[in-house]
Amino acid sequence: DIQMTQSPSSLSASVGDRVTITCRASQNINFYLNWHQQKPGKAPNLLIYAASSLQSGVPSRFSGSGSGTDFTLTISSLQPEDFATYYCQQSYSAPLTFGGGTKVEIK
């Protein structure tokens, strides 16, 4: 199975900050990497697919980059509604696997 490792597991940031979350795959997954946002008590919501493609309706302050084993999700200017947990997920091979999550909290 492909292991997905996110860092950090949590972070504190202020509104307006630039935030970067990293995801590392245990083997090469090309660009088959997606990012999801989850707010408490809610279902996850797709932000980025295929490493860098912005899902329709997602604000442009979210961006993704990377390929191979190392990927990044960036929020260019953190907004109040962005405080949530973020998960990376590989779609390269079964079983599909998720990172452990990064909780973004208010500083």
Partner 1 sequence: QVQLVESGGGVVQPGRSLRLSCAASGFTLRTYAMHWVRQAPGRGLEWVADISFDGSNKKYADSVKGRFTISRDNSKNTLYLQTNSLRGEDTAVYYCVRESIVVATAATYFDYWGQGTLVTVSS
Binding site for partner 1 (CB under 8 A): 31-32, 34, 36, 38, 42-46, 49-50, 53, 55, 87, 89, 91, 94-101
Query: Measured from the CB of residue 7, what is the shortest distance to partner 1 in angstroms?
Result: 14
* φ, ψ (nearest 5 deg) of residue 80: -55, -35
- Comparing CB distances to partner 1, the nearer of 31 and 83 is 31
29: tokens are 């997954």
Type of residue at 83:
F
- Comparing CB distances to partner 1, the nearer of 32 and 75 is 32
Q: How far apart are the first and last CA of the chain?
A: 36
Query: Measured from the CB of residue 107, what is the shortest distance to partner 1 in angstroms?
Result: 23
**Burial class of residue 54, CB neighbours in 10 A (0-12, 13-18, 19+):** middle
- Comparing CB distances to partner 1, the nearer of 17 and 69 is 69
